Each structure stands twice: as structure tokens, then as C-alpha cells.
Chain A
Amino acid sequence: MLQVFTHANFPLMGRVKWFFIAFSTFALVISVGTILTHGFNYGIDFAGGTAVRLKFREQPHIEKIRAALEGAGLGDVSLQSIGGAADNEVLVRVELGQGQGGPAAVSEGGEISRRVLEALQSPEDFKEKQAGKIDLNMITEADLRDWLGAHLPSGGGGVTTQDAPAIAAALVKYRTDHAGLFASPSELASIPGVTPEAARLLQQQTFLGPFTLRSVDFIGPTAGKELLRNTLYAVFGSAAGILIYVWFRFKKWMWGLTSIIALVHDVVIAAGAVSLTHKEFSVDIVAALLTILGYSINDTIVVFDRIRENLRLYREVDFETLVNASINQTLSRTILTSFTVFIAITALFIYGGDKLNPLSFCLMVGVVFGTYSSVFVAAALLVIVYRYLGARYVKV
């Protein structure tokens, strides 16, 4: 039988607990300090503005792109590569309040993304467009269908107008499966469903733009502010909910208090890690923090339940020894339960793509510290309180 700890008997509540209390304090100070001095790298959800995500056919020249965008008078533009180097993806962010002057009917949101795309268009592509060619990397399926309908021969033996929807669908499916881009015109001939005549027509009368549009986000100034307010409601609301639950559960307020301290410790450190690593602070991070709030108390409950159980069984045993024994008895399951969750989140962190990266990172930190804190913060504090304030506050 495999067992993490068969007869664990580590002296965790002895002097060594002070080392961990010091470590936790240090980690808390670093976290709060980083949050206060560096703040968060607020994502567009909170900060507002426009984010345009582009995928290029070839390695994009960040500096060239920057120069082109600055020439467009969009004001402060920040550029960021996304994913691995081979992904060739760039996120263009334009702050709110820049480059105003769009039509009053539709506020700046729509304007900015259009102007970004215009600014990035090369003069050669502009000429191609002037000559009536279409950009196969940007055209929508509906437009492609129309275009094929107008350009394929209307009769004859080979491919005709009637094949337009099927060919357009085949092309767009291929493009979607290849991250939204045709890399070279020669690919067109090898796509299943695209006849050689159609491929020839496309090779002659279309061109492949240097990039495709992956996503556009615009968040106006009011939406960001409202979100921040709602975030605070949600965080305090769920914290209060869990507080009340823990209160009812442990009855003795000191048990509740120490577990809440451990909880706050986990959430603050997870938030600090996000700030320290400059991960984007988006709604996803809020979701992660709330999840940590709900999840990281679980291990504490396991440990505390065991302490209470043992308190009833062994009335003569010294409290510190009893807590230590309880921790050791539950150590396997404390570590195992967190370990399985950790596996799931790590898989998400590694394979889940860049969009889920901040969320899974924050959860990873939260789960690790949540496990650690159930022993070295919650239980350790209980032992310390017992020593200085006596049984009145702690015993069942």
C-alpha cells in the first residue's frame, strides 16, 4: 500500500512553527508591499480601453508596428507578444480617452480598432485592395461566399457559382483550423473541397494579408468602474458568507478567527504573486481569488475537525502535543487533496493557453499556500493563542 506518510510524527508545532510564522509574515509583507507600490497590471476589464489581438503570418517586428501605430495618432499604445515566439501573436492596447473624434453616434470603441487595423496595413496591401483584390486572411465567410459567387464562372463544365458556398466554407474551415491564417498561396490548392480552378482563381485575384484579427475588446470608462465596485461587493460578500459559515461551524470564535486569518493570508499572497509577476489582473483573477477564498479553508477544516475529535478522546494530553498529533494524522489527506487539485490546475497552466494562464497561476499559488497555511498558520496560531491566553479561548 502506498502512503505519503504512514506513521508521520513530525514535530511541526514545536519551535519550528515560529520559523513558519516568520516566513508567512515575510510573505505577507512582500505581497502587501508589492501590491501597494506596484499595484496590479490591470487588464482591459478594469482599466477600460481597446485591445486588439492580431496574429501575424511571419515574426512581427514590434518596433515597426509601434512606429506605424504612433503615426496614426492613437496616443499611448502598448504592445505585447502573446504566447510562444512561434505564435507570432501581438496584443495592441490603446488607453481610453486617446484618439477621440470618431462619429458621435457610435462612441470611440469601434473607431479605435478600425484605426489600428488601418495603421498596420502595408502600402502594398493597400494597392492590392485598390486593384480590387481581397485579403483572404481578413475576409469573412459571408463576404467570401459573395465574392466567389461573383467571380466563379456562372456555367460550363468545371466549377461554377453554385459551388461558391461549399468552397467558401472549406476555405474558412481550413483557416479556422490553422489559427486564422493562410501561410502561403500554395496552400490553397491542397485544401480538401477547393477545386484546382477555384484555387487558381484565388491565387490570381486575392492576396494574403500579413495578419489576421483574433479578437477585439473595447471597454468604456463606466463599465470598468462598475466592475471594480461589483468586484469589491463580491469579495466582501463571499468573505462575509464564509466567515459566518465558519463561525457557526466552529462555535468557538477563536477557531473561526484563526482560520479566517489563514484564509486572508492565502488570498493576499495569491494576489501579491499576481502583482509581483505582472500577470494581467482581469475578472479571471477575481474569480481565482474567490475560489481560493472558498477552497483554501477546506484543509483547515480537516485539521481543525481532527483536533476537536482528539480533544474529546484524549482529555489529559497537552494541547500542543494534541494539535501536533492531529496534524500528523491528517497530513496525508491534507497533502493528497491539494495535490490532486494542483495537478488539475498545473495541467491548465501548461496546456490551457495564454488566456487561462493568469487564472491558473493564481490558483496554483493559492492552493499551495492554502495547504501550507492550514498547518502553519491556522493550527500554529491556535497553539500560540492557547499558550498565551489559555484554554478558555480554545478548548471545545
Chain B
Amino acid sequence: MNLDLRWRLLLIFALLVVCVWAIYPPAEKIHLGLDLKGGIHMVMRVKTDDAVKAELDLSQERIRSALGEKGLAPQKTSSDGVDALVLEGVDSSRIGEVRDLLARQFPQYQVSSPGPGRLRLQLKAQEENAIRDSAVRQALETIRTRVDKFGVAEPTIQRQGTGAHADRVLIQLPGVEDPERVKDLIGSPAFLEWKLVKIPPGVVAEQFRPPDSPEVLTRMFGGKLPDDVEILPQEVITQDGKTALLYWPVTKSSPITGNDLKNSRREQDRFGNPAVGFTLSADAGRRFQDLTRKYQGQQLAIVLDKKLISAPRINAVIADQGIIEGSNFTLESSEDMALKLRSGALPAGMEILEERTVGPSLGADSIRQGVVATLIGSIIIVLFMLVYYRAAGVNAGLALVLNLLILLAAMAYFHSTLTLPGIAGFALTVGMAVDANVLVFERIREELRHGRTVRAAINAGFDKAFNTIIDSHCTTLIAGVFLYGYGTGPVRGFAVTLSVGILANLFTALVVSRAIFDAELALRPQAETLSI
């Protein structure tokens, strides 16, 4: 046995050891996709328009007061589209003064004047992008906090997409089975507000009952709502177990919001029902004290994400601690709400673009079926190769096993995820793995038929099949690479196993299989026949 061959065999053996080491134990080393392990996969979009709009609303307030202080207040301010404001009825003679002030104090806007007495403030693209970007980043942070506290092992929460799609968030929670709860937990903004209930004129406060349609409520105000009042719905459960909506008139402004919270936790009300307890920051506590003193006897609405939870009557002065009661609270939902409030509000609403939940039983079935199919395929193929190529079939079988080991080891090393289509890629790799062997073996047989010696036939077989093998692997690899770039989730797993399998295949067919033949030749240097 010559030195070169010894080195080659040693290298192959070392590779074998490294592969086994990389894979063992497979339960820890091979990462299963959610479609096999079970869990929730979600792609959500942060509605960054909300954040831009909030910024605009804030600016609108500040511009009005800044201009008002100088006696330059416009008659009307309104928003124009998502990212612009329009001031109307600006004093034409002092328009230069107004523009100066705007340029100085609100440099994030590009000011233009589309008509007399009108000014248009366009949010600069750079500023707008920064707002959107920070909204996504904040959302990501908030979701992370919420998921962490929910206690999921190995969650994936990451930003996805570029350019116009940079507002995507990918969330993967392995092993979580309850999608409804998760969606509520991470998808709702959880923006909490306290608002005063505005009783319609001519109604005795104690006798006010919210009607079940907003129109009726508007009529109670004489057909037109006051400027500072808005209508918000409340979900209630009726006697027969159905959900109904009641409409409440509340102030537009919110003296206290979720931003003023220092802490919140699950608690019980005085009847032992689930509720959410909260603690306000010191400053907000003082404001709350003033508020409750001033409006004692009136109803204070607690509003979450523009929906009224409850509207308790202020019976006593409250400082920095209190509880939120609601008829619909369960142990679970009050726990979740406390958690959401603790983690802070999302800067914008979320929209689910894609959601996939796989139950653990389906994943387990998929693994079983996929593995059984791959094993059956492999066994039949190896048996066929043994019958057809006899001793050389052993060679092909060894190459096949090593091929699968390298594939698994590569996946473990690169932390690739094995998915259900990925298992199909395995099965396909098994089928293709012997292709290269077939090409070489057939060529060797042909050369033997032409009367070549065993050694010459083996050399010629590998040499002549080489180009063909490279070609066939390259074309499949091209498709695999494009598939990887295209695919999301499970299909990407297919692309990975297919592509890596092909590379491993190239190695086993050209190096391993060759080394085994050479070893055989070295053992029987004078061989006149070859079992192929």
C-alpha cells in the first residue's frame, strides 16, 4: 500500500470520526424545524404608519401652541396623508415670521406654501425613516420582553426584510401550542389610558347607562359630539353568553397613560375575582391624586387599545396604587395583561402576515414518516446495488452511508434546521448519491469489456466519468442555490439538504469510492478480475 493511499484512507477515517462526533447525540445536535418539532411561526408587520401618525399628532399640538404663543396661530391644522401637515388661515402678512419659527423649532419638516395663507409641512424622508425604524426596533424589544416573561425556551424574534419590507418581524416559538394566547400577548399594543366619562347633558350621572349603538349616544348629545369627546366601545358578555358592545362617551385627552406605570401585577378585587394591580410613577401618582380629588363621584374610564375595560366611579382619592377590574378577566388574561403593561406598549399596531402553528403530534408523525420513507428507500437502493454490482455495491453502500453522515454533520455544524421538506431532500440525496457510483461503475465495466486490466479500467472509469459527474452535480446545485435564495422556512431546509447532500456526494463518489477501489488493488496487486 503506497503512502498516498494510506494518507487518503486516514483522512477519510478522520472525517468519519469528526462527523460522528459532530452529530452525536443527534437529539441535541440536529436542529429540528417548527414543522417537525411543533410550535408557532409568525411573520408580523409593524404598522409603522401608526408611529409616523403619532409623531405628526404630537407635532401638530406643539406647532399650534408654539405659534399661539406668538399670536400666529393658524385657523386650522390638519394632516395631509401619512407624513405631512397643512396649516390653513395663516396670517399672510406674517408668513415669513411663521416660516422662520417653523424652520427653527421644527427642522424635521420641509415647509412649502401651496397657496395664500396655507403652509404644508412635509416630514423629511430621513426623519420619517428614522421614526419607522425606531418603531420596529422598539416593537422588537417589547415583543422580546413579553416572550421572555412568557417563558418560552429558545424563541426566535428577529427583524426580517429590507427596504420597503423592513417592518417585518419573524417570531418562532418552538413547543408553544396555544396560538391565540400568544397572538394576543405579542400582537396587541397594550396602550393603557385613563379617561373621564362625559355624561351627556340632561342625564343624571348616576342613571347613565351606555347605549349599544354609537348613533344613539350621539343623539343624546344632541346630534353632535363636543370637540373634546370621543366614543369608545366596551365588550360585555350578555346573559346568554354572547358578546355585545356598549358605547361610552369619554374625553379625548388622557390625563394618565400606560407610560406613567411603574409596575403592574395580577391581583384580586375585593370579591376575589381576577384583576390587575398597578403602581404609578411618583409624578403620575401626584397627578392621579389631584384628578381623583377634583372629579370625585364621576366615572373614570380605563381604556386599553381604544377599548374600554371598565369605568369605575371615583369613590376616594387615589394616589399611586390601584387596581383595574373588568368583568371579563380570567386568571390567565389578567396575568397576560399585567405582563403586557409591564413590558410597555408597542409603539404601533401589529398585523399578522403569516402564521403557522404545528401541533407536536403532527410534527412527531411527520418525522416518523419521513425517516421511515428515507430508510426504506436507502435499504432498497443498497440491496439493489449489492445485487447489481456485487462487491462494488459494498463500495457504493459505504459511500452512501458516509454521504449521509457528512450531510448530517454539516447540518449540525452550520446549525441548519432540518424541516419536513428537508427530509425529502435527504431521501433524494440517497437516490442521487449512488448516481455517481453508477456512472463510474458502468464505465469501469465498459473498459473491462474492452479488455483493459483491472487497474487500467478503474483509472479510466474514474477519469472518464469525472466530467459527467461534475456537470450533473453543478446543474442540480444551481437549482439548489436558487431554491435556497427563494425559499422561506421549510423549503429552505429542502434546498439545504439537497445542496449539501450534492457536495457531500461529490466527495464520496470521487474520493471515498476511489480510495476503496485503490485499497482493493493494493491488497490484490495482481488482480485479474473485479467484482463489479
Chain A positions within 8 Å of B, measured between CB atoms, are: 1-3, 53, 55, 103-107, 109-110, 113-114, 140-143, 172, 175-181, 212-220, 222-223, 227, 230-231, 233-234, 237-238, 241-242, 245-246, 249, 283-284, 286-287, 290-291, 293-295, 297-298, 301-302, 305, 329, 332-333, 336-337, 339-348, 350-353, 355-356, 359-360, 363
Contact = CB atoms under 8 A, between A and B. Distances in A.
Chain B interface category by residue count: 35 or more
A343 B384 contact: yes
Contacts of B364: 176-177
Contacts of B428: 291, 341, 344-345, 348, 363
A340 B435 contact: yes
Contact of A234 (B370, B438, B443, B482): B482
B344 interface: no
A357 to B, nearest CB: 10
Contacts of A305: 467-468, 471
Nearest to A177: B364
10 contacts: A107-B351, A109-B183, A143-B178, A223-B43, A298-B435, A333-B443, A348-B370, A350-B373, A352-B424, A355-B420
Given A107-B352, A298-B471, 6 more contacts: A55-B361, A107-B351, A110-B180, A230-B486, A302-B439, A344-B431
A353 B532 CA distance: 36
Nearest to B473: A298
B362 A215 contact: yes
B354 A218 contact: yes
A193 to B, nearest CB: 17
A114 B478 contact: no
- Counting from the closest, the 5 A-B pairs by CB-CB distance are A294-B479, A344-B431, A180-B361, A234-B486, A347-B377
A231 B483 CA distance: 9
A351 B373 contact: yes
Given A234-B485, A290-B479, A290-B482, A106 B430 contact: no
A345 B431 CA distance: 8
A250 to B, nearest CB: 10
B351 A337 contact: no
A2 B387 contact: yes
Nearest to A344: B431
A176 B360 CA distance: 6
B359 A214 contact: yes
A48 B87 CA distance: 42
B355 interface: yes
Interface in B432-484: 432, 434-435, 438-439, 442-443, 445-446, 467-468, 471-472, 474-483
Given A233-B486, A344-B377, A347-B427, A212 B361 contact: yes
B192 interface: no
B353 A297 contact: no
Summarize A's interface: helix, strand, loop or mixed.
helix
Contact of A341 (B374, B431, B439, B487): B431
B434 A294 contact: no
A385 B241 CA distance: 77
Contacts of A181: 361
A176 to B, nearest CB: 5
B27 interface: no
B421 A215 contact: no
B479 A238 contact: yes
Nearest to A230: B486
B406 interface: no
Contacts of B362: 53, 180, 214-215
Contacts of B360: 172, 176, 180
A143 B180 CA distance: 14
A107 to B, nearest CB: 5
B418 interface: no
A359 B177 CA distance: 27
Contacts of A230: 486
B431 A353 contact: no
B387 A294 contact: no
B194 interface: no
Nearest to B467: A305
Given A241-B478, A341-B435, A351-B376, A360 B424 contact: yes
B171 interface: no
A304 to B, nearest CB: 10
A220 B479 contact: no
A269 B322 CA distance: 69
B509 to A, nearest CB: 12
A356 to B, nearest CB: 5
A344 B423 CA distance: 12
Contacts of B308: none
B357 A215 contact: yes
A286 to B, nearest CB: 7
B479 A242 contact: yes
Contacts of A238: 478-479, 481-483
A294 B475 CA distance: 5
Given A234-B483, A242-B475, A291-B428, A333 B179 contact: no
Contacts of B476: 291, 294-295, 298
B435 A219 contact: no
B203 interface: no
B188 interface: yes
Interface in B327-384: 349-362, 364-366, 369-370, 372-374, 376-378, 380-381, 384
A3 to B, nearest CB: 8
B483 A337 contact: no
Contacts of A242: 475, 478-479
B352 A110 contact: yes
Interface stretch (B71-79, B89-97, B284-292, B491-499): B491-499
B420 A113 contact: no
B377 A333 contact: no
Contacts of B353: 219-220, 222-223
A348 B374 contact: yes
A5 to B, nearest CB: 11
A353 B370 contact: yes
Contacts of A346: 377
B373 A223 contact: no
Nearest to B385: A340
Contacts of B43: 223
